[in-house]
Amino acid sequence: MKEGVPHIICLFGPQGSGKGTQAERLSAWLGIPHISPGNIFRKAMADETDLGKQVADIINSGHLVPDEVTNTLMRERIEQEDCLMGFVFDGYPRNTAQNDALHAMTQLTHALVIDIPEEESLHRIGERRVCSQCGMTYHLTFKPSKVTGVCDVCGSALTHRDDDKPDAIRKRLDIYHTSTEPLITSFEQRGIVHRINGMGSIDDVWKRVQEAIQKE
């Protein structure tokens, strides 16, 4: 990798592809923030802030928060000082309106697409658990907490989110296929897309992610 060059990275992939976990690793490896709108919204919900109350019903039904809310949140976040050397987006942009807003804010250097079959998405998400307070994500098979049902970071209870249940999962997969996948074509035209096989262990996928970043 080139020292001192900002990395502005977005991870794409269907629900359950492990992009959140890989984003956390990328963040630690490159020393740049991991920015996930979903995590920010869920933390706001747990804290019962005005933002949390605004989006709770929307998220729990498996729908997306309005673009104007998400775009404003992302613009404010990347303007913070810790983002000067880049950041890792996970879950943004998800549609054309968000992509247009992102283009007005900054330019991606890498778009990583983690591919898994749809049946694998359904299986994996069914075993996902999320901290009710800090938003840290776990998986019963691939990333279990040290103590069953308890967050390693803050000690709060882990929950099976309403939007990780079958009907909500299918809605989100439909949204990904119809609204998010077309964005990848535009990034392919810029030559910044790296497709990554998302099957196998977390460490297997991580090696592929590192190789994609090092190809620059």
| Catalytic center residues | 19, 94, 128, 161, 172
H or E element that contains 86 = strand 86-90
**Which tokens in the block code for residue 216?**
């620059």
Cβ neighbors of 125 (< 8 A, separation 6 or more) are: 15, 16, 164, 169
What is the number of other CB atoms lying within 10 angstroms of the CB of residue 109? 16
Contact 13, 208 (CB under 8 A): no
| Identity of residue 21 | T
User: What are φ and ψ of residue 183, in 5° steps?
Assistant: -65, -35
* DSSP annotation of 47: H
Instruction: Scan for tokens 């439909």, then name that residue.
Output: 174
User: What SS3 state is found at 174?
Assistant: helix
User: What are φ and ψ of residue 179, in 5° steps?
Assistant: -110, -35
CA angle 34, 97, 15 (to 5 degrees): 50
**Which tokens in the block code for residue 35?**
């920015």
**Which tokens in the block code for residue 51?**
């933002």
